[in-house]
C-alpha cells in the first residue's frame, strides 16, 4: 500500500518538475552514484581502540554527552555502522582514524602502525562493497604536548612525521585492496592559547615536516592527499599553525586536495562561497560536512541554510564529480547510530533538493537580465514536491521510507544499551 502511494506521488512530482525542465530520473541516477564518507569516530566519541585511550584535552576536540551504548570494541563499532548504513539510502564509504586499528590488545606506537593493523577493516569493507578513507591521528597522545608537526623538540616532531608517513602508506593499501582511491586527510591541532613567541617559527617547522612527509608520492588511483585548515580551536584561540592561508598555499603548490570543514571558519564565512573561488585552481576538493553552533561545535548535520547553500553551489557549478563529501561531527548526547543516520540522510536529502532545482530556467532568466524571475523561481523551487522524489530514492535503494527508520534505530539503540550497559 505504501509503495503504491509513493509511486503515485512520485509520478505527480516527475510531471511537475518536468514542466520546469527538470529530468527527475536523471537526477536520481546522479544521486545514486554519490558516495558520502561516514566518519567512524561518531560511534565511540572519538575514543579509538588503542590499548591506552588518548587524552583529548588540549587537542581542540570536545565530545559532550553520556548516552548509553557507546561502542567499546571494533566489532561493536562495525555493528553500529552496519545499523546506520541499513537506514541510509545508497552505497557509501567509511572514514577511519589511525587510532581505530585492530591492535589485538597490544600497545602499538603510532609511528609503527601499518596496513596489517587494518586488514580486518579491509575485509569488512570488501564484504559490503564500501570504500575506505583514512586520517592520521595527531592528537590524544603524550607526544602531542606541545604540538605535533610543529613540536619544538625535533625527536617528537620526527615521531609525528613517521606517523603520517605510515598513515599514507596504509591509505595506499586501502586503495589497492578495495579498488577505489582512499582519501587521506591531515588535520593537526597545533596552536596556542595565547600569542606564541614567533608564529613564523611554528609555521616554518610545519612546512619542513610536510615537505618530508609528502616527498613520497602515490598513484592517485590508489590514494589522494588532502590537508585541512582551521581558524581556531579549544586551547588554540590565538594561533593555529595550519590556517586556511597556510594550507591553501601549500596545497596549491604541492598539488594536493584542500579540505574545507564547515565548522572551521568564522560563523559568518560561507564555505559554499569558497568553493567557486578554489575550484578554478584545484582539480578536486574535500569538504567536511559539519554543523557549527556559535563555534566549531561539530553538531549533528541537519538540512539547514548552510548545508543547502553548499549543495546548491556544488550542483550549480556542475562539480559534484570534483568535490568529495565526508561527514565530520560527534555527539554523545543522543543515540549515536541515529546521529550517523540523521546527518547522512540530511546531507543526501539536501543534495537531492539542489539537484532538483530548475537550473536551466533560472540561468536563462539571469542571462536575460531578469533578476526578479531568477529570485522568484529559486523561492518557488522550495515548494516543489521534492519529498516525493526523496521517498522514491529511499525505496529504490532499499532504505526505509518516512519515519520507519527512526523506529529501527530506536529498537537497535535499546538492544545495544541493554547489552553494553
Known catalytic residues are: 187, 228, 230, 261, 264, 288, 296, 298, 328
Q: What are phi and psi of 281, to 5 degrees?
A: -110, -20
CA atoms within 13 A on the CB side of 62: 11
Compute the radius of gyration of the chain from its Cα atoms: 22
**Integer Cα distance of 318 and 73 in angstroms:** 41
**Integer Cα distance of 102 and 243 in angstroms:** 33
**Integer Cα distance of 178 and 223 in angstroms:** 11
**Integer Cα distance of 218 and 390 in angstroms:** 38
- Find the helix or strand (DSSP H, E) in which 184 lies: strand 182-186
**Integer Cα distance of 222 and 282 in angstroms:** 19
Q: Provide the grid cell at 167.
A: 598513515
Q: Provide the grid cell at 317.
A: 557549478
Q: Provide the grid cell at 257.
A: 586536495
CA angle 305, 226, 142 (to 5 degrees): 100
**CB of 1 within 8 A of CB of 370?**
no
Amino acid at each position: 500500500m505504501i509503495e503504491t502511494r509513493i509511486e503515485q506521488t512520485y509520478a505527480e512530482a516527475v510531471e511537475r518538475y518536468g514542466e520546469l525542465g527538470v529530468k527527475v530520473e536523471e537526477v536520481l541516477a546522479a544521486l545514486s552514484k554519490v558516495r558520502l564518507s561516514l566518519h567512524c569516530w561518531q560511534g565511540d566519541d572519538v575514543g579509538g581502540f588503542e590499548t591506552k585511550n588518548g587524552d583529548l584535552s588540549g587537542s581542540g576536540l570536545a565530545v559532550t554527552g553520556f548516552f548509553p551504548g557507546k561502542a567499546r570494541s571494533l566489532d561493536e563499532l562495525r555493528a553500529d555502522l552496519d545499523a546506520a548504513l541499513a537506514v541510509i539510502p545508497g552505497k557509501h564509504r567509511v572514514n577511519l582514524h589511525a587510532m581505530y586499528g585492530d591492535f589485538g590488545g597490544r600497545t602499538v606506537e603510532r609511528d609503527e602502525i601499518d596496513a596489517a593493523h587494518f586488514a580486518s577493516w579491509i575485509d569488512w569493507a570488501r564484504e559490503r562493497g564500501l570504500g575506505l578513507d583514512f586520517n592520521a591521528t595527531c592528537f590524544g597522545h603524550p607526544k602531542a604536548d606541545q604540538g605535533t608537526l610543529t613540536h619544538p623538540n625535533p625527536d617528537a616532531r620526527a615521531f609525528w612525521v613517521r606517523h603520517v608517513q605510515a598513515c599514507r602508506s596504509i591509505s595506499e593499501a586501502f586503495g589497492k585492496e578495495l579498488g577505489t582511491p582512499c582519501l587521506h586527510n591531515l588535520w593537526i591541532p597545533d596552536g596556542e592559547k595565547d600569542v606564541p613567541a614567533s608564529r613564523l617559527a611554528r609555521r616554518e617547522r610545519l612546512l619542513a615536516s610536510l615537505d618530508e612527509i609528502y616527498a613520497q608520492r602515490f598513484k592517485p588511483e590508489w590514494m589522494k592527499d588532502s590537508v585541512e585548515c582551521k581558524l581556531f580551536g579549544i586551547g588554540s584561540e590565538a594561533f593555529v599553525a595550519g590556517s586556511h592561508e597556510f594550507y591553501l598555499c601549500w596545497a596549491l603548490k604541492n598539488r594536493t586536495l584542500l579540505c574545507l570543514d564547515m565548522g572551521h571558519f568564522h560563523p559568518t564565512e560561507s564555505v559554499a562561497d569558497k568553493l567557486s573561488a578554489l575550484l578554478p585552481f584545484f582539480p578536486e576538493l574535500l569538504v567536511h560536512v559539519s554543523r557549527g553552533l556559535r563555534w566549531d561545535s561539530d553538531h549533528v548535520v541537519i538540512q539547514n541554510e548552510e548545508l543547502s547553500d553548499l549543495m546548491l553551489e556544488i550542483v550549480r557549478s556542475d562539480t559534484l564529480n570534483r568535490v568529495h563529501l565526508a561527514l565530520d561531527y560527534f555527539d554523545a548526547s543522543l543515540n549515536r547510530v541515529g546521529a550517523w543516520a540523521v546527518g547522512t540522510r540530511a546531507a543526501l536529502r539536501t543534495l537531492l533538493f539542489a539537484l532538483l532545482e530548475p537550473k536551466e530556467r533560472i540561468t536563462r532568466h539571469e542571462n536575460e537580465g531578469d533578476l526578479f524571475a531568477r529570485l522568484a523561481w529559486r523561492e518557488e523551487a522550495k515548494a516543489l514536491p521534492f519529498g516525493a522524489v526523496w521517498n522514491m530514492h529511499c525505496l529504490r535503494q532499499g532504505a526505509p521510507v518516512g519515519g520507519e527508520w527512526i523506529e529501527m534505530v530506536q529498537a537497535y539503540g535499546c538492544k545495544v544499551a541493554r547489552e553494553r550497559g
